Amino acid sequence: MPRKITRLSATKISTFEQCPKYFDFQYVKRVDRTFTPVEWEVGSIVHDIIARLFKQIKGRQRGIIPRLGNPDWYQPLLVEAVAGLKQQIDDKTIRVVRPDEELSSYEGQMNSALTTFTATVLPLLENHKIIGVEADLGRFHLAGVQMDGRLDLITQSGGNLYVHDWKTGGRRDEDERQAKIYYFASKDKYRQPATTFSLYYLAESGDIILSHTYDQEQRAELESEISGIVDRMSALDEYHAQPSVLCHWCPYGPQCEEGTAHMGDYPAPSRKDQIDLGLGT
């Protein structure tokens, strides 16, 4: 029987493409997670610390982003977050999946991302006026489906609207689709003709920023792409597993026979093995 798809997001689509059964556990059956991979929590912590900064600025500085005099502004927040993360790892609600990793490695990653944000991103945003922090996409539809998501930061400068999204992992092909969704959602919600959407890859060095603007032809292409995805999802009678190395990071792995079998045959990789950990983030 065809399924009715009424709401999607860039994350939901990526999850479905990487493993339909994970999508089923997470978004259809809403099964309780057995754990959260530490990599996902690291990304959430970095996003939360940055959001707390901009919410404070919005409340105390009339929304105008100043030049920060303290490059270590985030350190007390990071210390607090790392203590909470350690407790969650001890309680086994957060799991370090890689066999050769310790908490100090992830603490270093968070510190590096926030250092890069402070040194590279914040100076570019000086004197921008904050319009929104962690704002939703509004009532934005593509192919008759409500598109959900969160805009990390929206600012305005010189009559132009800028939408910003922080990334703590590597670049992925599906980032382009997310950029288009967020760009057109922002255009519809804020109704500013001059709009730019930027992705900031805080785990990288050098040129960490990708900025995008799109036209109506690209919006039509996106609409067609989403329509095709909805059709594929709707046509499925059952969501099948797509086992891969990512099974080790799947919080539903113990409840998935295919995933459990795959993990038995293929142990979790070490850090030297570069893989995309985008599933579910």
What is residue 137's three-state secondary structure?
A: coil
pTM of the predicted model, to two decimals? Answer: 0.92
Under 8 Å between Cβ of 49 and 81: yes
Phi-psi map region of 161: left, alpha, beta (phi>0 left; psi -120 to 50 alpha): beta
pLDDT at res. 270:
73
Neighbours of 123 (CB within 10 A): 11
Q: Is the pLDDT of residue 40 over 90?
A: yes
- The predicted-structure confidence for 157-179, as pLDDT tens digits, reads as follows 999 999 999 999 999 999 999 99
CATH class for the region spanning 36-235: alpha beta
Token reading at 246: 């990512």
What is residue 208's three-state secondary structure?
A: coil
Q: Rounded to an integer, what distance in angstroms lies between the CA atom of residue 117 and that of residue 206?
A: 12
Hey, where are the domains in the chain?
36-235
Neighbours of 178 (CB within 10 A): 20
What is residue 156's three-state secondary structure?
A: strand
DSSP secondary structure code for residue 249 in this structure: G
- The predicted-structure confidence for 209-237, as pLDDT tens digits, reads as follows 999 999 999 999 999 999 999 999 999 98
pLDDT at res. 51:
98
